[in-house]
Chain A
Amino acid sequence: EAGVTQSPTHLIKTRGQQATLRCSPISGHTSVYWYQQALGLGLQFLLWYDEGEERNRGNFPPRFSGRQFPNYSSELNVNALELEDSALYLCASSVGQQETQYFGPGTRLLVL
């Protein structure tokens, strides 16, 4: 069974640009979660999608947005990139809200 996949592995952007990160959940999982792991800050919850709807978002500005497609894959968009957006972005999926979250390998975003 394939695990959670994320693309691209690495992404380099300049300040003010937009970044799009993609995630494919484990087959059968309907919930997708996005986290930001910046150096020294631990994992910060960004967004939770389930059945195509945004169910919860963390304490991030509106320029962080995303969506979930009918096949349950998800996209995270970060507009007007700032230097402090440089981080590892992790996607996870689960079969249900209170169940184990399985993580992908992450996308490392560098903003110059």
Chain B
Amino acid sequence: SQQGEEDPQALSIQEGENATMNCSYKTSINNLQWYRQNSGRGLVHLILIRSNEREKHSGRLRVTLDTSKKSSSLLITASRAADTASYFCATGVYTGANSKLTFGKGITLSVRP
């Protein structure tokens, strides 16, 4: 089963509103990363948060990590039409030979002008 699962699967908001996306996972992790993908192209890295961090900011993005609840959230403030994309959370587990980054299925965000 997927390590990271995003919620909701799809989100539609008006330009200027905030968008909140959630990610839950099952096992202990070393880090969690959020990515954006536009129209089936390559992924763009947004933020990496390590397991000993609780919150990180980057421009209009705010990511939180709650390791006790095994969950993370991505907040995009003052959304723009250009934020329309698919957003993925990816959990990094690095334990020797089985080290890898596992992606969720993604959230489709639509920002209406």
Contacts and interface: CB of A to CB of B under 8 A. Distances in A.
Given A45-B101, A48-B99, A56-B99, A98 B106 contact: no
Interface of B: 2, 30-31, 33, 35, 40-45, 48, 88, 90, 92, 94, 97-106
A98 B30 contact: yes
Nearest to B48: A100
A55 to B, nearest CB: 7
A25 interface: no
B41 A45 contact: no
Contacts, number: 58
A97 B98 CA distance: 12
Which of B42, B97, B105 is packed against the most chain A CB atoms within 10 Å? B42
Interface string A31-56: 00101010001110100100000011
Interface stretch (A65-73, A75-83, A103-111): A103-111
B42 A104 contact: yes
Contacts of B101: 33, 45, 101
Nearest to B86: A42
Interface size class of A (residues with CB under 8 A): 20 to 34
A64 interface: no
A98 B45 CA distance: 14
A98 B97 contact: no
A45 B43 contact: no
A97 B92 CA distance: 9
A88 B40 contact: yes
B104 A42 contact: yes
A102 B99 contact: no
17 contacts: A4-B42, A42-B2, A42-B106, A43-B103, A45-B100, A90-B43, A98-B30, A100-B33, A100-B45, A102-B45, A103-B42, A103-B44, A103-B45, A104-B42, A105-B41, A106-B40, A108-B40
